[in-house]
């Protein structure tokens, strides 16, 4: 026991000395933490979070932002009846509002403000300018650790990213920054087991985008080709010609698809609704 405590003490002093001294670089710090994890002084979850904290200081906003082309925006001059479907289909809580073009962002619309309008019966005097929140503009080069501190102090949750010419390059949210530290923040569509296809109700299934096409065909009795793509997600992106947005729906091979989860980099989860005359083979 005494030897174990002595060993632990030596490793703790080594970590402390490394953190308080003059380490060569962040990789040097992470190597020390890796050894501490292997010795059982910190668990894997703590190690991953500490590594994320250290890596955040190296990243800039341009490394994680949602590109301009993938931003979900609303137009200042659109009536609330046209904005509501965008809010529902995207599943987001905040939306940049543009004026004449995408470089003229005039404010941020909160979904709850629009929903309050409909909850009150849809007044005829709705003016979107009265509910817009101020916009925060930041450069692409801003460090994530600095941005996170600014988010905490200002209580803002979204910022618009501008390039060197003042044009809108994208957007970033506090969730984007936090995910660099703690990993992907899950939602109600997370599947904890290894099932690629899960039945959720009558004729309704959740399907991981990485599900192989041959497995999908075997389950649903479909005949999608796997000559060009290996996964059902790849097939969906090829059909649409781009990365699908969350909430987007489309019909392919007689099956109705809805995007349950996607981000700026990948398609992750789909919902499949089958016609009544198609009965999956595994039911």
Domain ranges within the chain, ordered by starting residue? 2-58, 62-182, 197-273
212 in helix, strand or coil? strand
At residue 235, φ and ψ (nearest 5 deg) are -65, -45
Q: Which fold has domain 197-273?
A: 3.30.465
Q: To 5 degrees, how large is the angle CA 97–CA 258–CA 89?
A: 20
Give how far the C-alpha of residue 203 lies from the chain's centroid of Cα atoms, to the nearest Å: 28
pTM above 0.75, yes or no: no
Q: What is the percentage of the chain residues whose pLDDT exceeds 90?
A: 29
Q: What is the pLDDT of residues 257-271, one digit of tens each?
A: 988 877 656 788 899
Q: Do 278 and 256 touch, CB atoms closer than 8 A? A: no
Sheet with 94-98, side-by-side order of all strands: 74-75, 94-98, 105-110
* pLDDT at residue 177 tops 90: no
Q: What is the pLDDT of residues 35-61, one digit of tens each?
A: 878 878 788 777 777 777 777 778 889
Give residue 283's pLDDT.
Answer: 53
At residue 243, φ and ψ (nearest 5 deg) are -75, 120
**Six-digit token pair at 106?**
């005039």
Q: Does domain 62-182 bear CATH number 3.10.580.10?
A: yes
89 band by pLDDT with thresholds 50, 70 and 90: confident
Q: In whole angstroms, how far apart are CA 125 and each of 79, 80, 120, 129?
A: 11, 11, 12, 12
Q: What is the mean pLDDT of residues 204-225?
A: 91
Give residue 33's pLDDT.
Answer: 79
Give residue 5's pLDDT.
Answer: 45
Of 136, 172, 138, residue with least CA distance to 155: 136
**Six-digit token pair at 13?**
């002093």
24 band by pLDDT with thresholds 50, 70 and 90: low
Of the ranges 4-13, 79-88, 109-118, 131-140, the best mean pLDDT one: 131-140
């Amino acid at each position: 026991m005494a030897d174990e405590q002595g060993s632990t003490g030596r490793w703790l002093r080594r970590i402390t000395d490394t953190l308080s001294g003059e380490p060569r670089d962040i990789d040097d710090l992470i190597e020390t933490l890796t050894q501490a994890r292997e010795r059982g002084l910190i668990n894997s979850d703590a190690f991953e979070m500490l590594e994320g904290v250290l890596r955040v200081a190296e990243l800039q906003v341009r490394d994680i932002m949602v590109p301009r082309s993938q931003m979900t925006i609303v137009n200042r001059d659109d009536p609330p009846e046209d904005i509501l479907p965008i809010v529902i289909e995207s599943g987001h809580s905040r939306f940049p509002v543009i004026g004449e073009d995408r470089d003229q962002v005039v404010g941020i619309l909160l979904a709850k403000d629009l929903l309050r309008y409909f909850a009150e019966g849809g007044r005829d005097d709705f003016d979107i300018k009265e509910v817009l929140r101020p916009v925060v503009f930041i450069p692409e080069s801003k460090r994530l650790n600095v941005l996170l501190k600014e988010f905490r102090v200002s209580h803002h949750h979204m910022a618009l990213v501008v390039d060197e010419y003042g044009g809108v390059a994208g957007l970033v949210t506090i969730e984007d920054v936090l995910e660099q530290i703690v990993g992907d923040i899950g939602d109600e569509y997370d599947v904890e087991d290894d099932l690629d296809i899960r039945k959720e109700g009558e004729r309704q299934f959740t399907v991981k985008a990485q599900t192989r096409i041959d497995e999908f065909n075997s389950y649903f009795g479909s005949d999608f080709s796997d000559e060009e793509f290996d996964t059902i997600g790849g097939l969906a992106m090829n059909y649409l010609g781009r990365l699908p947005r969350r909430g987007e729906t489309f019909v392919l091979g007689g099956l109705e698809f809805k995007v349950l989860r996607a981000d700026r980099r990948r398609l992750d989860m789909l919902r499949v609704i089958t016609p009544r005359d198609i009965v999956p083979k595994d039911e």
